[in-house]
Amino acid sequence: MAETLREFLKKVENLPPETLVCVAEVDEAFAANVAQVEIVEDARTQSRKADGTETVELANGSEKVVVIRW
C-alpha cells in the first residue's frame, strides 16, 4: 500500500542523520543505493491494484509525489 510522507517520517524520526537510505524490490533480497530523490508536483495516480500497488504517471496530474530513483 502506498505510504504518505507523514507515515514515512514517523517511521524514521529517531534514526541518526547519517543513516543510509536505499530502495529494494519487495520480493528481492538486494538493495540499491539511492541515486536521486525528486519531488514531482504534477503526478497522477493511474491505477490502484488489489495488492496495494499503484501506478503513478509523473506528469499530467495534480498530485505531489516523492520519487526515489535507483
Q: What single-letter amino acid sits at 10? A: K
Partners of 44 in beta bridges = 57
Domain residue ranges in the chain: 5-69
Segment 48-58, tens digit of pLDDT: 777 766 788 88
The model's confidence at residue 14, banded by pLDDT at 50, 70 and 90, is very high
Question: Is-contact 4 65, C-beta < 8 A?
Answer: no
Decide the pairing of beta strands 32-33 and 54-57: unpaired
Instruction: Average the pLDDT over 7-15 and give the result.
Output: 91
